[in-house]
Amino acid sequence: MKAVPVKRAAAGGLMLLFGLAVMLEARTFGLGSLARVGPGLFPMIVGSALGLVGVLIAATPEAGTEPEEGGRPDWRGWACIVVGILLFVLLGEHLGLGPATFACVFVSALGDRQGNPRAAFLLALAMTAVAGLVFTLALKFQMPFWRGW
């Protein structure tokens, strides 16, 4: 069995600590029950998931070969993700959840070098539909799906 690299163990441990901190803080908000959810339930679930992912990262050895040291960062990917988030904030305020979700997913997906614009478009359409169903119809999210001019 392969040993877990120190960087990987440290990253997993840090994620576990953040998850535990979120869980401890979430307890102060009150969890409520499943019938009447309190404000601390969602942060508790997110903190638990973060801690679990941290444990999995720290406990599993890295598959494959070691990544190349000194490789250049993927600036295109970073830029597309940052622009996608900014578009979500801007469009969400002025046009609503649907256009904001579509723009965020489409632009962020363009950062993938193996992807293509058609795949990014289809992914954006699918995620917009999911966001509409989950947040607008099921959860009655306060942000309108489409906000007219």
Reported as a single tens digit per residue, the pLDDT across 44-97 is 999 999 999 999 988 887 765 555 556 677 888 889 999 999 999 999 888 999
- 1 within some domain: no
In a domain, 39, yes or no: yes
Q: What is the pTM of this model?
A: 0.59
Specify whether 44 is located in the same domain as 84.
Answer: no
Residue 33 located in a structural domain: yes
**Are 50 and 87 found together in one domain?**
no
CA nearest 25: which of 7, 5, 51, 6?
51
| Span 88-111, pLDDT tens digits | 999 988 899 999 999 999 999 999
Task: Name the residue type at position 60.
Answer: T
Rounded CA-CA distance 128/146 in Å is 11
Same domain? For 81 and 132 the reply is: yes
Q: In this structure, are 88 and 132 located in the same domain?
A: yes
- Per the structure, the complete domain to which residue 30 belongs is given by 6-59
**Number of domains comprising the chain:** 2
CA distance 129 to 87: 18
Residue 34 Cα distances to 38, 104, 129, 134, 135, angstroms:
9, 31, 26, 18, 18
